[in-house]
């Protein structure tokens, strides 16, 4: 028996957009593909300005918590997380089976400022809801077109007798939103119970090459570049496969951010960094599936540097041409979600940047055999 990651979602630095609440109760639904008899959770206060105190944390087997158990930390029901720290709960005895949904209720009766934030759009496997009261149970809602966020919960581990392969889904909002990644996760979990765990380390706005611009509070939440943070993720998670959707923000942010204006990316430079990613993943005994760049369209009001807009659109096509010459590239633009260098309206979330649930499912169906081929070779 050994501890294995059953669920992981990237916690982002929202210290530039902190949320102060008088009280808090949040519910986070997670889905496990493992069997086991004990679990523990990881909570973060990496980016906070003050210690966080949660005076009630429970795990339930249903969203109304008819069947529940309290979680404890150092033999106390009060969880106190110092500034800049990550903590794990004491083990909780609870039988868990593959495909099961677990629900975590996290409450605080203290006025606190939260800076450690995660979110999803796809609520099938991971879902969340919160209220500004410590004595009230929020209701989970199933949606696919709105951002739903939570604080501090980063990981769930299960004590299991089987060893599951890890797949790391990483990159930008195309990953974080779950409309592609969770659609693929649902398919793989159904076909490979107890054999796989899929992690989500996407960050909305994240770039492949450059760290987040600092000239706007929102931009600051876009995090360190993927090339900066991927080595740590590989070291922590030891994935067998890394699936990456990244690069679009390297082209878009110079169009809207004054600081990023000097960080425009050309195709040869981009490809050099993609090659570095492949080498990094390979030396860590993993295989990389890197998607080509889906088309994007910005309105005139969004584009502050309009002279560079046409160049960015042309650079995306040049990058995709170079990527097509590379083995191991997943050609998202060759699927039905793209037509004439635009997202097809049927699969567009409505912002001309992201896929909707149907588009995410279609892309996941195309990714499935690619992942299965790698897993079969690895096995």
Tokens of 370: 């690619």
Tokens of 230: 């991927």
Q: Are strands 165-171 and 196-202 parallel, antiparallel or unpaired?
A: parallel
Which uninterrupted H or E stretch holds 360? helix 357-378
| C-alpha dist (Å) from residue 217 to 14, 16, 155, 220, 230 | 9, 5, 26, 5, 24
| Cα 279 from Cα 275, distance rounded (Å) | 6
| Cα 275 from Cα 281, distance rounded (Å) | 10
- The residues near 375 (Cβ < 8 Å, ≥ 6 apart) are 165, 192, 196, 240, 241
* Residues of the chain predicted below pLDDT 50: none
By CB atoms closer than 10 A (0-12, 13-18, 19+), residue 275 is exposed
| Cα 254 from Cα 256, distance rounded (Å) | 6
pLDDT digits (tens, 9 = 90+) for 333-372: 999 999 999 999 999 999 999 999 999 999 999 999 999 9
The pLDDT value recorded for residue 298 is 85
Nearest CA among 180, 174, 183 for reference residue 202: 174
Tokens of 50: 């003050």
The pLDDT value recorded for residue 1 is 86
Neighbours of 226 (CB within 10 A): 27
Tokens of 57: 């944390």
120 by DSSP, 3-state: which? strand
201 by DSSP, 3-state: which? strand
| Cα 249 from Cα 352, distance rounded (Å) | 13
- Written as one string, the DSSP assignment of 19-61 is EEESSEEEEEEEE----EEEEEEEEEESS-SS-EEESEEEEES
pLDDT digits (tens, 9 = 90+) for 157-197: 999 988 999 999 999 999 999 999 999 999 999 999 999 99
| Cα 161 from Cα 31, distance rounded (Å) | 18
């Amino acid at each position: 028996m050994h501890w294995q990651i059953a669920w992981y979602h990237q916690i982002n630095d929202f210290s530039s957009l902190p949320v102060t609440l008088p009280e808090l109760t949040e519910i986070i639904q997670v889905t496990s593909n493992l069997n086991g008899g004990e679990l523990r959770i990881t909570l973060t206060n990496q980016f906070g300005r003050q210690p966080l105190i949660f005076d009630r944390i429970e795990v339930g087997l249903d969203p109304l918590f008819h069947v529940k158990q309290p979680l404890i930390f150092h033999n106390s029901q009060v969880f106190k997380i110092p500034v800049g720290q990550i903590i794990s709960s004491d083990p909780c005895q609870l039988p868990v089976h593959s495909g099961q949904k677990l629900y975590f209720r996290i409450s605080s009766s203290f006025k606190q400022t939260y800076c450690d934030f995660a979110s999803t759009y796809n609520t099938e496997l991971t879902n969340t809801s919160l209220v500004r009261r410590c004595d009230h149970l929020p209701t989970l809602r199933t949606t696919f077109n709105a951002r739903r966020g939570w604080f501090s919960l980063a990981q769930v581990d299960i004590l299991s007798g089987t060893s599951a392969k890890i797949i790391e889904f990483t990159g930008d909002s195309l990953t974080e939103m779950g409309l592609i990644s969770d659609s693929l996760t649902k398919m793989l979990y159904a076909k490979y119970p107890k054999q796989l765990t899929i992690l989500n380390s996407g960050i909305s706005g994240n770039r492949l090459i450059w760290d987040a611009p600092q000239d706007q509070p929102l931009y600051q939440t876009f995090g360190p570049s993927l090339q900066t943070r991927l080595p740590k993720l590989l070291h922590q998670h030891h994935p067998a496969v890394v699936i990456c959707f990244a690069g679009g923000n390297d082209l878009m942010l110079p169009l809207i951010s004054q600081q990023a204006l000097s960080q425009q990316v050309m195709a040869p430079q981009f490809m050099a960094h993609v090659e570095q990613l492949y080498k990094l993943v390979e030396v860590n005994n993993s295989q990389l599936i890197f998607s080509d760049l889906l088309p994007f369209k910005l309105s005139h009001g969004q584009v502050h540097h309009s002279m560079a807009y046409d160049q960015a659109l042309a650079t995306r096509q040049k990058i995709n041409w170079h990527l097509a010459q590379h083995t191991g590239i997943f050609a998202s633009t060759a699927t039905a979600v793209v037509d004439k260098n635009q997202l097809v309206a049927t699969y567009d979330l409505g912002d001309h940047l992201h896929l909707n649930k149907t588009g995410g499912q279609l892309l996941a169906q195309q990714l499935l055999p690619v992942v299965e081929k790698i897993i079969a070779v690895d096995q």
